[in-house]
Amino acid sequence: MAKSLKSNFVYNLINTSLGILFPLISFPYASRILMAERIGEVNFFQSIIQYVLLLTSLGIPMYAIREIAKVRDSVALRNKTLLEILILNLILTVFGYCIIFIILMTIDKVQVNIPLFLILSLSIILTTIGCDWFYQGVEDFKYITIRGIIVRSLSLILLFLLVKTQEDVLYYAVCLTVGSLGGNIFNFIRLKKYLKISDFNWQYLQPFRHLKPVLRIFVLNLIISIYINLNVLMLGFMKNNESVGLFTSATKLTQVILSVVISLGTVLLPRMSNMISNNQLEEFRELAQKSLDFIILITLPVAFGLVLLAGFLIPIFCGDTYTDAILTLQILAPIIIFIGISNVLGLQILYPQGHENVVIVCTGIGAVLNFVLNLWLIPKYSQNGAAVATLFAELVVTAAMWIIGRKMMHVHWKKRYWGYILATVFMCAAIYLVKQINFSFKVDFIISVIVGACIYLLYLIFTKDPFYLTFRNILIQKLNLKNEHNDI
């Protein structure tokens, strides 16, 4: 099992790295050509479509991963569950496209560019037929990784071939959709490897038995989406597309980093759900604690490093015309810590145990706070106001989850976390000093990253941190195996 988990994590890390590489290459290229207004238009439309997608998927992705993981050892039950959930999702998708039609007929800001809105709305049907939740539930991460390499490579090639001017925003939307969800077509075709429709007696399928439990997850997803997508939606209606573009340029960087953090949860959710199903409580608690340890170790230096390096990253990532987004990124950077911790507490620990009500209450508190703060701050401070609202919402969600759910989590704050905080302080001090030297823009950035990383790593080595020792031992084993192979 341990070997399988490590293998899954490696595959998912590769897939996540590809997910990072795609926006790191595509967004800087597109942002310089399309500029903030066009980028803002795309993201404004996407924020509307995300709410429709939320209604069509309800809580299916998260619920389905857990349910598939529970029955994955029984082929008959697994495939019956797969087919039932897919049928339910397809029915909801038809309902979703009815909403899309109503939006097209009634909202003036959407009617400005209907083709763009329709292209981006393809994400709804692609999400449905993709059944990503099934492949995660059966832990088929190798396939997900290979598929990601092929699809994202194709998308990048199309981007560079087709997007040349500001008028090519439709091509950008196509590349964006293909890059993120184009592989779902392969997912749907590949389902025949796992099931044969002819083997099923359709009268025994009960797709609507899943409706009640997914509605509970839908409430959670709806609340989460309020302070993820509502910022962009409110900026679009209360300000303009340029403000949306500036906010998006900052959030893209945090999302890229968060995707690495959340990838750990993608691997662990099916495994931890399966542990609970098999009553492996001790293993579950040990894995939960290690997950929290890892998140604290990684997110502290990354978040505060992002604050100090925002002045370099925004011009490099988005271009010189996006300098107003530097402060936005600095405000948003700490959410990496909060979301990382709340992801472990809520989605990896509480949810697999069936305590989704706790997660719903905590995220609900954050959603209400985020909405109220947006109403107050966006008119005055535009994208920076939305960033402040997001920061406080995530802080409150994490704190509430820790306080309310602490008796159900079986994880605790360790003394060595204070060491990670101290190491982060040393790292930040070193980066600050390097920035004062003023060699040149690129040299300062490169030296800052290297010095900061080295300071943090030296602390882990000096204190003989468990994660450092584990990584070192794995590396030594790999080198020894390689040497033995060469000797043979």
The whole-number pLDDT of residue 429 equals: 93
What does the pLDDT read at residue 325? 85
The predicted structure's pLDDT at residue 141: 67
Task: Look at residue 455 in the predicted model and tell me its pLDDT.
Answer: 92
pLDDT tens by residue, the chain, 488 residues: 444 555 555 555 555 556 666 777 777 788 888 877 788 888 888 888 888 888 887 778 777 877 787 777 777 788 788 888 888 888 889 999 999 999 988 888 888 888 999 998 888 888 888 777 787 777 676 777 777 778 888 888 888 888 888 888 888 888 888 877 777 787 788 877 777 666 566 667 777 787 777 777 777 667 666 656 677 778 877 887 778 778 877 887 787 777 766 665 555 555 555 565 666 667 777 777 887 888 888 889 999 999 999 888 888 877 777 788 889 999 999 988 988 888 888 777 777 677 777 888 888 888 888 889 989 998 888 889 988 998 998 899 889 888 887 777 677 788 888 999 999 999 999 998 888 887 778 888 889 889 999 999 999 889 888 777 777 776 676 556 555 555 55
pLDDT at 19: 60
* The pTM of the whole model exceeds 0.85: no
SS (H, E, C) the chain: CHHHHHHHHHHHHHHHHHHHHHHHHHHHHHHHHHHHHHHHHHHHHHHHHHHHHHHHHCCHHHHHHHHHHHHCCCHHHHHHHHHHHHHHHHHHHHHHHHHHHHHHHHCHHHHCCHHHHHHHCHHHHHHHHHCHHHHHHCCCHHHHHHHHHHHHHHHHHHHHHHCCCHHHHHHHHHHHHHHHHCCHHHHHHHHHHCCCHHHCCHHHCCHHHHHHHHHHHHHHHHHHHHHHHHHHHHHHHHCCHHHHHHHHHHHHHHHHHHHHHHHHHHHHHHHHHHHHHCCCHHHHHHHHHHHHHHHHHHHHHHHHHHHHHHHHHHHHHCCHHHHHHHHHHHHHCCHHHHHHHHHHHHHHHHCCCCCHHHHHHHHHHHHHHHHHHHHHHHHHHHHHHHHHHHHHHHHHHHHHHHHHCHHHHCCCCCCHHHHHHHHHHHHHHHHHHHHHHCCCHHHHHHHHHHHHHHHHHHHHHHCCCHHHHHHHHHHHHHHHHHHHHHHC
User: In the prediction, which pLDDT does 475 show?
Assistant: 65
